[in-house]
Every structure is written in structure tokens, then in C-alpha cells.
Homo-oligomer: A and B are copies of this chain.
């Protein structure tokens, strides 16, 4: 059917053909069907949207599709019904519980990246994984398909890497591990994510001290020069499929299927040529993995996929039931990481960072078996890690003279006091995250939460147990109100609720 083009000012994530419902029906299409749009020898598939306000002889076309077809306003294009691509039948197959072959998974990932699958179809694939599960073969194919649909960065020498599956607040260990490992002479070109649902991703934290957005060439040159980077992975184009899965299904639905998580992590590592990986699996109530046996199973899955894609993986199961260190929020975490590098800062951050760095030192042979953590600590204590961090900050365009006390944090601060004498019995990760986000993190870099104590600390009635930082006063009030209600820290013996709430 020949239709006159009206170019839509709307920039959709999907190619769109806006049709009169009558026109759609005579094409055999309904809302969400696909049509083929042809003009001057080129062809594009678009998703039908209908509106009675569109004249019957017209098609509204999004700008991107119009550009791709090289058609201008008022031009006539041939529009015809078009069946879904094969990948849609593979998604349906997965939903029915059948395993997918390599080529089928490849077809799905390719179509995801090319933007020809709808949200419903992408969610079908991710939820199929979540609820039907994926075999090791399928995860391997998914990993490879994500690598093959993205770009790669190659280095001339062995690549060491560190990754955390996340889920624990205040986990700024990357900012300590990378300089230790690089100071030991190893190459650790680390890419990190920005926060999606947490108060600060590693890239958000590092962005307080330096730039984190680089082209693949810049990234490679920085890592090659100083031995390490702490960069945002999002601009490097390493795993575009993964980004789409997250934005269009996992984030909206709050799910993170195991298979997708493993494939996503491993694909990004393959893309930067990682040879040795230490994987942090925070475990415990309130973190992503609640039970040690689940953490062990996850570790063995990661190691198996590592074996299949050529990465030597060692997993560290760490304590994830309360924040790492005391600070949560970009600037507060960056400050705490610098404190640790300066030889100060909380012991949990120092212990966890050196333990994981030590694994990489042992894998490389820089440290002998069993001595990794003590070698890591000696690098930290000698000041070499701090010196290396300054080199990295400078190479990433930041100010290498920065000290922890120079980091600007939110100027609006309020403290929560302990309601009684006692031991801290509970620190609630979710509540900490909620308060830090209400205070403005991660967008307001100075916003966040600083704990004065964690589980087992002795506190006196009236003693501050937690400070909330904000850049804007109204957000501080919001965060304070939430903290009053959600009680991020429990002191044993404190009255949790009064029933009825007035006596």
C-alpha cells in the first residue's frame, strides 16, 4: 500500500509507523504488528501504532526510520505487512521451556541490538530465562552473542580484572583494589557501571575524582600508560545488548536472572580481553545472594563459564549483610576510598580490598600462594597504591593533588541518635539505600549516608549513629523522615514499634 509520509517529531526507541486504524486493518496489522516500509530500493521494518487522527493515506514515520529510508515529508513509501523475525519464535520457544541453540540465541541478541524487538519480546526473553532457567551451554552462547554484538578492546599483555555482583551499599573497594593491583605492575583496565537502583555505582563514585567517560581509544591508552583505569563502561560499546536488557526489562521489572547476570559480566570481561578475574559475591541477608550455598553454586557457574570463554575466575564470597565501610553515596564513598589509600579509613574496607587484590596478585605470581593479602597490604601501607591512584586520577583528567579531606560532601547534614544504650544488632541495606537516594544520591554527588557504627558496635543513648548528607535542604528532610520510619540501624533493646502508636 502506497502511503504519504509524515515525519514524527517523536524519537522513539523503536521504529514506528503511525497509521489510521482502518489502514492498519487493511494491511492485516494491529497495534504492535510489524510493517515493511520501502522507498527507493531501501527497506526498514517498523512497529505499527494506530491513531484515528492519522488520515487513511498517510503514515507517520519516526525521524530515524525516515532518515534511514532517505525519504522526506510528503514522500510516498510502500508499506506492507511483515511477519516477526525468527528471533521472536525462538523467544516463544524459550517461554515454552525449550532450550535454545547457539544460532537461536545469537539471532535474538543480534535483533535486540539492532532495535527490532519490542519491549514485550525483550521481556519475554529475559523472563523466559528467569523462570525457565538456562543451561550452561545456553549461558555460554548468550555470553558469546553479547560479545559478538559489541566492540572489543585488545591489550598487549595479560589483563587482570575485578568484579562484584553488587547488592551491598558502600562497596567502593574498586577504588582501592585497582591502584594496588596496578602498583604491583599488573594491567587492570576496569570498567564499572553507574547506579541504576543504588545510591552510587563505582563509576558515580570515581566521577567525583576524575572523568569516567572515555572512547575505547582513550580507555586503552590510559590503561596502557598507568596500568589501570576506573571508567564507566557505558560509553565503550562493549556490551550494548546487556544495556538494552537492563533498561527495557530488568530495571523496570526489578529482576536480574542468573543466566543474564553471568553472561553480562563475563561478556564485558571477554570484550576487554580479561585473562584473570576475581569475582566478589557479597552474601547474606539483605544482599543479592542470601545463603552461602547459593553463593557457592553461583561461583561454580561463573567459573564454568569462565573456563568455556577462556577466563581464569576465582570467586570471593564476602559478607554482604551491611555496607562495606561507613560511607554510602558518591562523594562520601570517594572520600572514604582515599582515606583507605592514605592509610586511614574503616577496617572492613581495608580488609576486603586487600583480600580481593591479594587474589589477583596470587593468580599473577606476583605473590606466592597464601601471601596475596599481605603483599596487597604492604603495597597499600607503603603509599604505592595512593601514588598509583593519583596517576590514574591524573590520567583520567582529575586533580592528582586531591586528598580525602578536600572532597566536597553535602553541606546539609542531620544525625540520627541512638534511642538507648546497647549494641547495634542490625544494619538494613535496603533502608540505607532508600535514605541515601532520598537525600539525592547518586545525582547529587555530595548526598548520602555516613554510619558511625555497624553491627556489634556499642553505642550510648543519644550518641549519633548515622549522619545524612544532602546538597538540598528539602531532600534532607525527606531522607530524615524516611530514616525515622525505616530505621536503617537497630540498637538491641530499642523499642521498634508502639502498638497502639499513641499511649
Assess whether A127 is in contact with B132, with CB atoms less than 8 Å apart. Answer: no
Q: Is A13 an interface residue (CB 8 A)?
A: yes
Q: At the interface, yes or no: A175 with Cβ under 8 Å from chain B? A: no
Q: Which residues of chain A from 114 to 168 have any CB-CB distance to chain B below 8 Å in the complex? A: 118-124, 127-128, 130-132
Residue A303 at the chain B interface, CB threshold 8 Å: no
A502 contacts the other chain (Cβ, under 8 Å)?
A: no
A6 to B51, CA, bound (A): 19
**A11 on interface, CB distance cutoff 8 Å:** yes
Interface bits A62-76 vs B (CB < 8 Å: 1, else 0): 000000000000000
| Chain B residue at smallest Cβ distance from A89 | B254
Pair B9/A10 contact, Cβ less than 8 Å: yes
Q: Which residues of the partner chain B approach A18 to less than 8 Å between Cβ atoms? A: 10-11
Given contacts A11-B18, A120-B248, contact A28 B131 (CB under 8 A): no
A252 touching B10 in the complex, CB below 8 Å, given contacts A26-B443, A130-B95 = no
With A25-B443, A95-B130, A131-B131 given, is the CB distance from A251 to B9 under 8 Å? Answer: no
Q: Say which residue of B30, B91, B132 sits within 8 Å of A253 (CB atoms).
A: B91
| Complex Cα spacing A275 to B196, Å | 51
Mask of A16-60 contacts with B, CB within 8 angstroms, 1/0: 101000000110101110000000000000000101010000001
Using Cβ atoms and an 8 Å threshold, which residues of chain B touch A173? none
Q: Which of B30, B128, B130, B253 contacts A120 (CB 8 A)?
A: B253
Interfacial chain B residues near A253, Cβ < 8 Å: 91-92, 95, 120-121, 124
Which B residues touch A92, using CB under 8 A?
A: 253-255
Q: 29 A-B residue contacts at CB 8 Å?
A: A6-B9, A8-B10, A9-B60, A10-B12, A10-B16, A11-B53, A12-B49, A13-B49, A28-B437, A28-B443, A30-B251, A31-B247, A32-B251, A32-B252, A88-B252, A91-B253, A92-B254, A95-B131, A120-B120, A120-B122, A120-B123, A120-B248, A120-B249, A121-B252, A123-B124, A124-B252, A124-B255, A127-B127, A127-B131
